[in-house]
Amino acid sequence: MRIILVGPPGAGKGTQAARLVDSYNIPHISTGDMLRAAVAAKTELGKQADECMSRGDLVPDGLVIAMTVERLGQPDCARGFMLDGFPRTRAQAFALTDALEKAAIVLDAVVLIEVPDDQIVGRIVGRRSDPETGKIYHLSFQPPPPEIVDRLVQRKDDTEDACRARLAKYHAETAPIVDYYAEQGRLKRVDGVGSADEVELRIKAALA
């Protein structure tokens, strides 16, 4: 199963990715993790990426795509993969499709987890973390024990203003990608509202 996972921040992509890679026995490929691994391994492409980042520049799309195709060609991806965090623009999606075709890698589906913005805001703004244990709580969905409430902290990007800014950026970047993969017939829309078990079942039904 060769999948790209798409969805807004707070939609539950991390939770579902962990479940699906276990179910299908495929690796979870995050572009951020992939870049760091290539730099640490000092591969040729990793060295080029490191030079860009050392200058404070963004890693060019062409280089990210080359690294992605190289990673997807490794033995652990023979049974499939779940790609997360890339592509982010229509141009990247088009270039990735071209590169995958040249590498004879066929993409099975693009799974879009959909959750209304207001629910996303509620999920994110209510999050709190425990600086002593690192555990994440939610004031409504997973309340912390009363004795630790006073020490919990809210991340700076978990405020409502920051959340809505991230959502606006997500919609601006992702809408063209959604349209592109829909035109290809690869897009699978999944309702992300409900329990993690319910969402997982919907994703598997869409992929089936």
Domain ranges of the chain: 2-207
Whole-prediction pTM value? 0.82
- 155 carries an active-site annotation: yes
Q: Is 202 a catalytic residue?
A: no
Beta bridge partners of 199: none
36 in active site: no
pLDDT at 26: 94
Q: Which of 2, 71, 88, 128 does the annotation list as catalytic?
A: 88
Q: Inform me whether the pLDDT recorded for 206 exceeds 90.
A: yes
pLDDT in tens, 140-174: 888 999 999 999 999 888 889 999 998 998 888 88
Task: Single out the catalytic residue among 36, 164, 166, 204.
Answer: 166
d(CA 169, CA 175): 10
| pLDDT recorded at residue 187 | 96
Give the mean pLDDT of 44-50.
81
Please give the class, per CATH, of domain 2-207: alpha beta
User: Does residue 108 surpass a pLDDT of 90?
Assistant: yes
User: Choosing from 47, 135, 151, 155, which is the catalytic residue?
Assistant: 155
Task: Select from 61, 59, 125 the least CA-distant residue to 96.
Answer: 61
Residue 42 known to be catalytic: no
